[in-house]
Amino acid sequence: MLKKFPFDDGVLRGLVILDPGRRADTDYSSIVSLANKFCPNVNLEELKEEYEDYQLLEDCHIPLQDESGSRKAIDKVWSNILQMKPPMGQVRFPVLRKVMHALLCLPHSNADCERVFSQVRKIHTDCRKNLNSDTLTALLQCKLNSDACCDIQPSGPQVDLAKNATYAYNSEHK
């Protein structure tokens, strides 16, 4: 696996900017190339100014550990950095915020895709092969957007509408 891993990939090399502990070691070209690739509509001059400001932050202003002393997750660290406000009350890093949000949303594996395919296989069974794609999409959205979809209790009118629709469909397709 290590032989096949793309260690020299430009994106992977550039993502070192996500590590606040290495902010002094990174240069502006890394964030520019990532911004051009994942957030192309940002003002690069403003981004440069904000990135330099971020690099000059003192370590005491970057909360790398939580109250118990354990290392915070990188998204929590960036959440704190991007919520910083100068005395005037505006967000300190508005352009950097857009770029970091785009970078932190990059999937780290294909687990999410595999999870969705698994859910589709559970919905689209042999008994339900004729599901319309809109129906399949709606059922999948319900499953993915609900913490406990098995606990959903439809109202009486919803059940009646579903039964009527099923009856009408079955009558048309005998």
Total number of domains constituting the chain: 2
Residue 96's CB: how many other CB atoms inside 10 A?
Answer: 25
Same domain for 84 and 50 = yes
pLDDT at 117 over 70: yes
Same domain for 42 and 63 = yes
Average pLDDT, the chain: 86
Same domain for 14 and 100 = yes
Same domain for 98 and 19 = yes
Same domain for 80 and 26 = yes
d(CA 153, CA 75): 35
Same domain for 156 and 85 = no
SS3 content of the chain, % helix, strand, coil (to 5): 65, 0, 35
Same domain for 115 and 96 = no
pLDDT at 108 over 80: no
Residue 81 lies in a domain: yes
Stretch 114-136: mean pLDDT: 88
- Per-residue pLDDT band at 99 (split at 50, 70, 90): very high
Same domain for 71 and 145 = no
Confidence (pLDDT) at 150? 63
d(CA 28, CA 17): 9
Residue 58 lies in a domain: yes
Top pLDDT among 89 and 157 is at: 157
Tokens of 32: 């520019």
d(CA 171, CA 174): 6
pLDDT at 110 over 90: no
Task: Give pLDDT tens digits for 1-58.
Answer: 778 888 788 888 888 899 998 888 888 888 999 999 998 899 999 999 999 999 998 8
Domain span at residue 77 reads 10-104
Same domain for 134 and 86 = no
